[in-house]
Structure 1
């Protein structure tokens, strides 16, 4: 089952044109479920800068961290449905977490509604100095893992994360006992990898690029259906025989349920205009992401596709839901 977020997203490009209606809000806030300084926070701030005065007289970003993005979803679901409170989130709290948590404090289908895609990125598997230089492909890595079971491990941004499950699925598909080590974010995992404490890390491609360019780690594969714009020399999972695991990561914008359709249309148009700005495109590229404007309807379709993908993957690796 190849994941086709990029193809779905492209259908949303050019969907909106013309000037937006004058603002009816004094202030709007974009809620981010992760700490300032990360890629999703950057995307939120770049779009916020462009949403005023067309959508609101002022637009601010508020970070509500915790529970892998769930605190932010809770904050938006309970807000007034007037367009003044906007969620930007990776898909995990709305798609993956229903399979990796026993219960969720919100309904991922009915408590928030889609507005527009935001940005997309590939995942990558990278290896550090613990892994011999002759390991150049995923198959090589899995063969090395089978030969060196004590060293066969990989890190990710946390147990039950998208990166954790992609790595686990690679190990299972390749018949290697690949032990997962969870960290508080990708960067601490990468530091241990380049220091030789762990063998590999799975995470968003952009997280690896400074160290990869410096020769401190090696990208073996990226997750998208085609080679990444920023990593043209790195083969994909599809090319290396793992088509069913192909996956594009992305962020999207949502608002509370019962937000009027006209408000959603206005916000969608403002986001599309922001994501088309050359300085926003350049800013996203600096962290190895591409803009992903979509219609609200298209984002809803993508979320359904994403949910099916994780349902299948979680079952395939036998992941047990946590509290």
Structure 2
């Protein structure tokens, strides 16, 4: 698994092949843009969408701040299914994790969208994932190997949550169990927030998700992050060793959130959206807000997004086969 995933999309249609819109279509800018996000409000990804959306106002792309619409459920697929049928005029975007493009086509036989249904616009933020445990797990458990040993001795409680079936966190937990010979049962949630609540409340032993969603409770001592997925220690929790440091280099990965438009959106509209989004991501207040939730702001060209997504597809295809998971399994 690459240590710095250069993602993109199973997309066969690149931004350069999109048809050009009539000249002047953006002369006045779109009145209002909707940003669909397939997970609950309050999560770290939701914060990215909102902070970027606020800064789009007054650009050549749109006159007003964007409105974020949360559409949680189905591991984020509902938002993308909605985007697929949205007007292809730049008025509707979605922000999604790369797993929705790179993983889902291999695990959902009846996936209601194809990555080719979307035009990549820009990467928004890079995330590292973490494994955290709550009060259900004894305080003596301080490392990933401690947790695995505890799971083997407490099989009935050896569960871990993720923000959704087929997500990168789901597969990180599955690989951890598979490669260590430990039975870890997966519990999918409708996003990170309800899972973190259950970990803190002692309803479930552990959770794997974007580690930014753990930070507040980790710092308050309500849960403990045992490991992180980056190629080096997270600047947000430098005291926590990476999975690789603890003997699990196959769990080294960086994920990202990116903005998408419907595939038939004119190329100059996509370009205007890219310029507005990457401009917003250069704003210090936006950067500080994204860093505050444990994510790394990262705007990109359309071409970089396409390359990075393709890399994710190539990396995860064999791993998903190894795990043997499909939506029907």
Displacement, 1:271?
A: 1.0
Q: Within 1, Cα distance between the matches of 2:223 and 2:83?
A: 39
Q: Does structure 2 retain, via aligned residues, the 8 Å contact 1:34–1:63? A: no
- Could you tell me which residue of structure 2 aligns to residue 95 of structure 1? 102
- Could you tell me which residue of structure 2 aligns to residue 67 of structure 1? 74
Q: Within 2, Cα distance between the matches of 1:23 and 1:223?
A: 44
Q: Does structure 2 retain, via aligned residues, the 8 Å contact 1:2–1:243? A: no
Output the TM-score relative to the length of structure 1: 0.87
SS of 2:87's partner is coil
Closer, same or farther in 2 for the Cα pair 1:64/1:207, shift >3 Å? closer
Closer, same or farther in 2 for the Cα pair 1:273/1:129, shift >3 Å? same
- Could you tell me which residue of structure 2 aligns to residue 77 of structure 1? 84
After superposition, give the CA deviation of every residue in 1:245-276 in whole Å (9 maximum; x if it has no partner). 21212110111213232222222111111001
After superposition, give the CA deviation of every residue in 1:103-124 in whole Å (9 maximum; x if it has no partner). 111211x111111101121110
Closer, same or farther in 2 for the Cα pair 1:257/1:195, shift >3 Å? closer
- Could you tell me which residue of structure 2 aligns to residue 289 of structure 1? 295
- Could you tell me which residue of structure 1 aligns to residue 200 of structure 2? 194
- Could you tell me which residue of structure 1 aligns to residue 64 of structure 2? 58
Q: Does structure 1 retain, via aligned residues, the 8 Å contact 2:44–2:294? A: no
- Name whichever of 78-87 and 241-250 sits farther off: 78-87
- Name whichever of 170-179 and 41-50 sits farther off: 41-50
After superposition, give the CA deviation of every residue in 1:16-55 in whole Å (9 maximum; x if it has no partner). xxxxx96433333222223333333322222122212112
2:112 equivalent to 1:112: no
Q: Does structure 2 retain, via aligned residues, the 8 Å contact 1:123–1:248? A: yes
**Aligned pairs for 1:1-323 within 5 A:** 1-5=1-5, 23-54=28-59, 55-63=61-69, 65=71, 66-108=73-115, 110-322=116-328
SS of 1:120's partner is strand
Q: Does structure 2 retain, via aligned residues, the 8 Å contact 1:23–1:53? A: no
Closer, same or farther in 2 for the Cα pair 1:142/1:36, shift >3 Å? closer
Q: Within 1, Cα distance between the matches of 2:56 and 2:97?
A: 20
Q: Within 2, Cα distance between the matches of 1:186 and 1:68?
A: 10
Q: Does structure 2 retain, via aligned residues, the 8 Å contact 1:115–1:296? A: yes
Q: Does structure 1 retain, via aligned residues, the 8 Å contact 2:39–2:190? A: no
Q: Does structure 2 retain, via aligned residues, the 8 Å contact 1:35–1:63? A: no
Q: Within 2, Cα distance between the matches of 1:155 and 1:294?
A: 31
Q: Does structure 2 retain, via aligned residues, the 8 Å contact 1:136–1:220? A: yes
Q: Within 1, Cα distance between the matches of 2:41 and 2:193?
A: 14
Q: Does structure 2 retain, via aligned residues, the 8 Å contact 1:34–1:41? A: yes
Q: Within 2, Cα distance between the matches of 1:189 and 1:69?
A: 15
- Name whichever of 274-283 and 172-181 sits farther off: 172-181
Aligned-pair Cα RMSD in Å: 2.3
Q: Within 2, Cα distance between the matches of 1:69 and 1:190?
A: 17
SS of 2:33's partner is strand
Runs of 4+ in structure 1 deviating by more than 6 angstroms, as ranges, are none
- Could you tell me which residue of structure 2 aligns to residue 14 of structure 1? none
> How many residue pairs get matched?
310
